[in-house]
């Protein structure tokens, strides 16, 4: 898989997720098998670039290449300026957000709301591509709603504008994350396109990944919610695509250390106060469905310091390791060896 001059080690990409794909999470996913990880979206509003939030999102210290930064907005010139700014901060790929279904984004005519205005889409893409000398990619949905699916038209505009790759989530904006993703539109776009196409939506298992790659003929797949608390999904899928065989479930001691390292990265990146609060959701994702985790997650939300979080996390995983060598999940009241999680 290649995007412009950037060569990915495989076909597996971490989807941009606000509040999730920060630098610690991106680094972890790459370590555990992802070929690329796209950042949280960075606003095109230059007035926000000095904020701590934007500065953190533009911080790529020590990050493994390729470094892909997603920008969001609706004004072509502002997006071009944002692309240049992030390139100067170390971005090697600029991704433009035209897929976010959130109301606060669509209400300012950004994200997937842009799909309603193909003329503006063309202006944005042409302006941003011209503004930087690194690859520009685009993320979209299949359309605004089921009556207005225009992914094929947007793909044509993107290709003619010089966009180097297109990621498509298999839902419309109106669908948000409800129902099931559809892949027929992605397959149609792939068959009509010369640029790499990336399939996204409801990829939760190695088998699903293989099926979607075969059905759509996409060049790569993008995984979002299924990686929350389970970043090792990338090595599981990579191994399955290469061999047709499943890796054994991860050992409790390994994931214990993965989580501890992740927590320390979060504390260092955000500082004590914010780090503790951000860590809570990650701890919850890692442990959801694990035997005995409900009471642990409830207690974790009451803890106020990183030291307390580390101690209780160590205690929880030490108890798990005494019961099972490998991760064991609850399903309908029965303990099962881990195969797949509930992520989307």
Catalytic residue set:
100
CA of residue 44 relative to chain centroid, distance: 20
DSSP E strands: which ranges in 170-299?
197-200, 220-223
DSSP E strands: which ranges in the chain?
2-3, 6-7, 12-14, 36-43, 67-72, 93-98, 136-141, 165-169, 197-200, 220-223, 328-331, 334-337
Rounded Cα–Cα distance for residues 105 and 121 (Å):
16
CB 243 within 8 A of CB 249: no
Beta-strand relationship, 197-200 and 220-223: parallel
Residues written for the chain:
344
Rounded Cα–Cα distance for residues 251 and 248 (Å):
9
Rounded Cα–Cα distance for residues 155 and 152 (Å):
5
- Return the structure tokens found at 339: 């195969």
- Return the structure tokens found at 186: 């992605």
- Return the structure tokens found at 96: 């433009």
SS3 breakdown of the chain: % helix, strand, coil, rounded to 5?
Answer: 45, 15, 35
Count Cβ neighbours within 10 Å for each residue of 136-175 and write b for 16 or more, e otherwise. Answer: bbbbbbbbbeeeebbbbebbbbbbebebbbbbbbbbbbeb
Rounded Cα–Cα distance for residues 73 and 108 (Å):
8
């Amino acid at each position: 898989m290649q995007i412009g001059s950037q060569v990915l080690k495989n076909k597996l990409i971490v989807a941009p997720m606000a509040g999730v794909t920060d630098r610690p999470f991106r680094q972890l996913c790459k370590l555990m098998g992802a070929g690329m990880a796209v950042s949280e979206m960075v606003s095109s509003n230059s007035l926000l670039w000095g904020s701590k939030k934007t500065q953190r999102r533009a911080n790529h210290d020590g990050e493994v290449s390729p470094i892909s930064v997603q920008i969001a907005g609706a004004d072509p010139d502002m997006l071009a300026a944002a692309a240049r700014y992030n390139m100067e901060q170390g971005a090697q790929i600029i991704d433009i957000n035209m897929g976010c279904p959130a109301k606060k984004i669509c209400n300012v005519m950004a994200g997937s709301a842009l799909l309603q205005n193909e003329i503006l889409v063309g202006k944005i893409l042409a302006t941003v591509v011209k503004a930087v000398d690194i690859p520009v990619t685009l993320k979209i949905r299949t359309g605004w709603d089921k009556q207005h699916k225009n992914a094929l038209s947007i793909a044509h505009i993107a290709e003619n504008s010089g966009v180097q790759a297109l990621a498509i989530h298999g839902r419309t904006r109106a669908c948000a994350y409800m129902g099931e993703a559809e892949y027929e539109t992605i397959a149609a776009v792939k068959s009509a396109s010369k640029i790499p196409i990336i399939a996204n939506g409801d990829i939760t298992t190695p088998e699903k990944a293989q099926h979607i790659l075969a059905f759509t003929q996409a060049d790569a797949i993008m995984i979002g919610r299924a990686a929350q608390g389970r970043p090792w999904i990338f090595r599981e899928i990579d191994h399955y695509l290469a061999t047709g065989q499943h890796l054994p479930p991860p050992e409790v001691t390994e994931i214990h250390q993965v989580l501890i390292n992740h927590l320390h990265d979060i504390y260092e990146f955000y500082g004590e106060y914010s780090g503790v609060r951000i860590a809570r959701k990650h701890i919850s994702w890692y442990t959801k469905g694990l035997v005995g985790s409900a009471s642990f997650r409830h207690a974790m939300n009451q803890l106020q310091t990183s030291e307390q979080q580390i101690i209780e996390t160590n205690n929880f995983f030490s108890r798990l390791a005494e019961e099972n060598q490998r991760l064991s999940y609850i399903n309908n009241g029965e303990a099962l060896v881990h195969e797949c999680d509930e992520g989307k």
